[in-house]
Amino acid sequence: MLQAVEDVSNMLSKENEALKNSLIAKLEDVADESERARLEPFKPNKQKTEDLNSLLNTLKVDGKKPKNKSPAPKLAPVKIEDMYGAQPSGIFSKAHFIEESSAVSGLATWDMLYEKELELAVTHPPANGFHQMIQWTKQGKVWQFPIDNEQGLDEEAQVGFHEHVFLEPHLKPWCPRRGPVRHFMELVVVGLSKNPYLTVEQKKEHINWFRDFFEAKRSILIDTGAIPDITTKSSPSLST
């Protein structure tokens, strides 16, 4: 791949080093994007998660109480007097209280902590192993059953396999049939077709970037003989 970059940059003697750095930087961006996609955790399938949860919720746990249990001691009833039956003292009859303004908004941090406190108040630890598995499934910590290697790739489920592999037709509108530019783009297309971590739209965007890059250098490529001097209309976007 580096040799193909070297061949393309050697054609443009005026901008040899700048062109070489641009192409290598773009290839490194593709590699970094693929690595981030590979390390990104999968997204649980909600439908499969609900099916598994409904199955586990139907399981019953034997909660019978032990027979030999001593009865709880009975406490004497407590007499509660009427606390509002006495005569008020009247010491606050002339007091003036300042009402809080409803227009003043609270801090976002306090609101977030309050919501977190409410969530913790109603969240209980799992009672058994089944509840723990349900909780881990909802959090995406375990695989949903049956195991699917394409789990979390719901957007790519509607895309055919051939669109990922056969990317050479995207070079026909603009790429020359032979020469170092063609050789370089063929290596790029082969690398993208073997990349399982990028979507079809992302692969087309990378091909678009190289097309626009070489289109900006068209005059130099024509002078060096890399492409024929034929005036053509700009090709449509590959993403459409």
pLDDT tens profile 123-156 = 778 889 888 888 888 887 887 777 776 676 667 7
Would you say residue 64 lies in a domain? no
Those residues of the chain that have pLDDT short of 50 are: 232-240
Q: What is the pTM of this model?
A: 0.48
Length of the chain: 240
Would you say residue 184 lies in a domain? yes
| Environment class of 205 (CB within 10 Å of its CB; exposed 0-12, middle 13-18, buried 19+) | middle
Would you say residue 170 lies in a domain? yes
Would you say residue 86 lies in a domain? no
Range of the domain at 176: 158-224
Would you say residue 194 lies in a domain? yes
Return the pLDDT at 187. Answer: 92
Would you say residue 237 lies in a domain? no
Would you say residue 134 lies in a domain? no
Would you say residue 191 lies in a domain? yes
CA distance linking residue 93 with residue 101, whole number of Å: 23
CA distance linking residue 178 with residue 204, whole number of Å: 21
Provide CB contacts within 8 A for 2, sequence distance 6+: 24
Number of domains making up the chain: 1
Return the pLDDT at 114. Answer: 92
